[in-house]
Structure 1
Amino acid sequence: MHKLRITNIIPRENHNVTINFEPVSGEFPTYKAGQFLTLSFEFANRELRRSYSFSSSPDVDEPLSITVKRVENGEISRFLHHKIQEGDIVDALDPQGLFIYEPIEDSERTVFLFAAGIGITPLFSILKSALVRESKSKIVLAYSNSSPEVTPFKEELQEWAKKYPDRLQIIWIYSNSKNLMTARLNRDYILSILKNHLPAPHQDVLFYTCGPVIYMDLCRFTLLGMGFDESQIKRETFLLPENEEDDDDETEKEVDKTTYSIKLNFQGQSYHLDIPYNKSILDVGLENKIKLPYSCKSGMCSTCISNCSQGKVRMSYNEVLTDREVENGRILLCTGHPIEPDTIIDVF
């Protein structure tokens, strides 16, 4: 755990706030563009963790910073918006996340960034790293908001566009636009953007998307339909979909209510745990005072990735692991439920 001091709090458009930090002692671990920071808080003898993407870039001389959107019923987001002050010290875990950009200084590629609202946060970090570290690569940012007045980082992005006029193209998309054809991102609009900015060969193209799930699915399915490979398309999810169930599916589903025993290997020790059907492996591990790695508890980050070396695990939600990784035994502790007896889990 790291101690970080808040050095500055900057209000942003549309109920967002940027928080700058400095390490209290020593150096903060190196992070990568696109990763997130997990903050840990103690309230009434319970630990709450929340993860926020870095809006700063590790390749730019600027403070370590995150940007947080106020959530009406969000306990931590309201605390960060209304309670914290400059000089306060908070606890933070090591940077995490697989939604990263790895600069290659001699590369000459085109990077498309599709952002909606506060989804710009990790993409702003990626944009800055790509422009600073790669002198030949070009960045195309398609940025969706309801209006110019509520667009986070609008002025900062305009400054970056002025600084790199030949390498950064920003497509501002506003839903209040009078031109309905370009008021919202849609399949035809994506095709048009790529037609105007897509270089050849296509192998040197990367796509990063961040926003609501339906927004990212639109980007992904359109790009896959154009023939791009899965490996070229990255996505970062902030919120769970409101409803993952099919409203038209009224069939009665059989629920396995068996309690399965598992062996959990972590930091050189083995733990034998009984996992009831309505609790995840992470839930039971934490109840047994095992200091397992975790952050989002929702299957949307990579902090609790582990390996199932024996038996089988069902995940109630997975926004991180690929089908191949799942086939090879990778699981998420936070949404993982054993479905066979004597399952063995190895925590990284």
Structure 2
Amino acid sequence: MAEFETLSVRDVRKETPDAVSVAFDVPPELEDRFGFTPGQYLTLRATIAGEDVRRTYSICSGLDDGEIRVAVKRVEGGRFSGFVNEALKPGMTLDVMAPEGRFTCPATERAGHDYVAFAAGSGVTPVLSIVKTVLAREPDSRFTFFYGNRDTASIIFREALEDLKDRYLDRFTLIHVLSREGQDVDILHGRLSEEKVRAFAQAGLFDPATADRFFLCGPGDMIDTVETALAGLGVEARRIAVERFTPAGDAAPAAPSERAQEAAREGIEVEVVLDGATRRFELGEEDASIVDAGHRAGIEIPYSCKGGMCCTCRCKLVEGEVEMAANYALEPWELEAGFVLGCQSRPLTKKVVLDFDAA
């Protein structure tokens, strides 16, 4: 089961007026555990106003940066992002899980790939980690990055990206798309849209037929728009990696179905397998999910985003039926194999058995 380690904050750097990056000191005995693949994220935990609050933030450092750093953009009303931007200082500590995530790009020496990325806002964070590492470790690879923001002042890691562009003139193409600031070329003004993606392809800025891998990271509507455009250009789903950035932990979950509400009213027995031990608890009407019910019973079921975005709470449904309020993480084959997300699962039967140790 995923566990937290307490790490000291080495550095807090202001990146834009509403975003900071945070670097951690990792002691030698934890270096192997906190080794990461570009594109992965960290789950952070803090007690804020007496409440245990957890959020996931992508790693922005490359493998050769000599540090592990995440970016945190302030979200309106966001408890954790507000705390990090306003109160977190070097020398303070946070509970941190080891790196996780599937939005990755393991760099391969002597590879010659053509990568394309579309990101908006803080969606740049994992893309930056991937870009840094690929350009440094794959000398024959090319990377084209379309990055959407409101205006120049809101561009996170602007200097770092410009430095990469200057260093790798022949291999890194950076294209800024700004929604609230005019540019010399009309197509670069506005939001990333289907029309823009098609226009970029028609202009020869990327080749949908030959690009090896596409990385899409940002809000859900932007992801859907770009995915639709790429599909229309003949790009198969297997070539597209997606990471949705949504303040899910602060958003209200979808209402349970009538069947789930009826089952909860009657009382549900939940049995979970964690670290080889079987534990049982009851789920009632007050519980939004199996994870919430377990924590109310004092059982530390793993979770992080609580929004269906990550797989920290991935488990296998062994007995019974559940419905999921949302799922942005599990692949079709995992659903067919019986895997569910504990933070999104609501029982539909009087008893459910979930195995969190299942591979």
TM (norm. structure 2) is: 0.87
Q: Report matched runs for 1:174-193 at 5 Å.
A: 174-175=178-179, 176-177=181-182, 179-184=185-190, 185-193=192-200
Percent identity reads 28
Task: Please report how far the alpha carbon of residue 18 of structure 1 lies from its aligned counterpart in structure 2 after TM superposition.
Answer: 1.1
CA contact (8 A) 1:3 1:24 kept: no
Once the 2 structures are TM-superposed, how far is the Cα of residue 52 of structure 1 from its aligned partner? 1.0
Deviation at residue 72 of structure 1 after TM alignment: 3.3
| 1:138 corresponds to which of 125, 128, 142 | 142
> Quick one: which amino acid aligns to residue 318 of structure 2?
S
The answer for the alignment partner of 2:124 in structure 1 is 120
1:267 corresponds in structure 2 to 275
Q: Which position in structure 1 is the counterpart of 2:15?
A: 12
1:89-168 to structure 2, matched below 5 A, reads: 89-168=93-172
Alignment check: 8 A CA contact 1:275 1:337 kept: no
**AA partner of residue 126 (structure 1):** I
Report the AA paired with residue 269 of structure 2: S
What SS does the aligned partner of 1:192 have? Answer: helix
Partner Cα separation in structure 2 for residue 162 and residue 312 of structure 1: 55
1:316 to 325, 328, 332: 325
Q: Superposition pairs for residues 3-82 of structure 1, below 5 Å?
A: 3-24=6-27, 26-28=29-31, 29-43=34-48, 46-57=51-62, 59-82=63-86
| Equivalent position amino acid for 2:41 in 1 | F
Q: 1:215 to 1:43 in 2, by over 3 A?
A: closer
- Tell me whether 1:217 sits opposite 2:220 in the alignment: no
**3-state SS of the aligned residue for 1:169?**
strand
3-state SS of paired residue (2:132): helix
1:296-311 aligned at under 5 Å gives the runs 296-311=305-320
Q: Which of 225, 239, 254 is the matching residue for 2:246?
A: 239
Q: One-letter code of the match for 2:189?
A: A
- TM-aligned CA distance change 1:177 to 1:45, over 3 Å: closer
Q: What are the Cα deviations for residues 98-136 of structure 1, in whole angstroms up to 9, with x where unaligned?
A: 111122223222111111111111111111111122121
Distance 1:17 1:201 in 2: 37
Q: What's the offset of the Cα at 1:199?
A: 4.7
* SS of aligned partner of 1:271: strand
Is the contact between residue 116 and residue 206 of structure 2 (CA under 8 Å) also seen in structure 1? no
Which residue matches 1:248? none
RMSD: 2.2
Residue 284 of structure 2 is aligned to residue 276 of structure 1: yes
Structure 1 spans left out of the alignment, 5+ residues:
246-252
1:244–1:295 CA distance, 2 compared to 1 (3 A): closer
Contact kept in structure 2, 1:2 and 1:23, CA below 8 Å: no
What are the Cα deviations for residues 273-307 of structure 1, in whole angstroms up to 9, with x where unaligned? 33235531111111222222111111111111111
Q: Secondary structure at the match of 1:155?
A: helix
Q: Where do 5+ consecutive residues of structure 2 fail to align?
A: none
Q: In the alignment, is the contact (CA less than 8 A) between 1:6 and 1:88 conserved in 2?
A: yes
